[in-house]
């Protein structure tokens, strides 16, 4: 795994915040070349959380968006707050 940050930005729309609250899921934008395994490993090491699942999609704008579901031991809203994003 590269030591370079792979998260381009966090998505903080109403839908993304609702997913964080109800499904404990982070929504992030990553480079298109990054795969699910790399995203999972990076998030676990960088933020010291346990990742359950990673789902990805390519948006109409050509960005790759990843939905990263955290284990119940970790709180997505708390993580976003600690990062100063909420």
pLDDT tens digits for the chain (86 residues)?
Answer: 555 789 999 999 999 999 999 999 999 999 999 999 999 999 999 999 999 999 999 999 999 999 999 999 999 999 999 999 98
| Residue 56 located in a structural domain | yes
| Residue 2 located in a structural domain | no
Give the structural domain span for 29. 9-83
When computed from its CA atoms, the radius of gyration of the chain, rounded to whole angstroms, is: 12
| Residue 1 located in a structural domain | no
Q: What is the pLDDT of residues 54-71, one digit of tens each?
A: 999 999 999 999 999 999
| Residue 21 located in a structural domain | yes
CA 63, CA 49: separation in Å to the nearest integer?
25
Say if pTM beats, i.e. exceeds, 0.75.
Answer: yes
Residue 16 DSSP SS3 = helix
| Residue 38 located in a structural domain | yes
| Residue 16 located in a structural domain | yes
CATH of residue 32's domain is: 3.30.70.330
CA 31, CA 85: separation in Å to the nearest integer?
20
**Overall domain count for the chain:** 1
| Residue 50 located in a structural domain | yes
CA atoms within 13 A on the CB side of 67: 14
């Amino acid at each position: 795994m590269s030591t370079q940050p792979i998260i381009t930005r966090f998505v903080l729309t109403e839908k993304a915040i609702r997913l964080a609250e109800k499904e404990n899921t982070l929504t992030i934008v990553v480079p298109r070349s990054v795969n699910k395994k790399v995203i999972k490993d990076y998030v676990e090491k960088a933020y010291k959380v346990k990742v359950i699942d990673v789902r990805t999609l390519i948006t109409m704008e050509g960005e790759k968006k990843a939905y990263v579901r955290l284990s119940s031991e970790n709180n997505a809203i708390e993580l976003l707050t600690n990062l100063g994003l909420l």
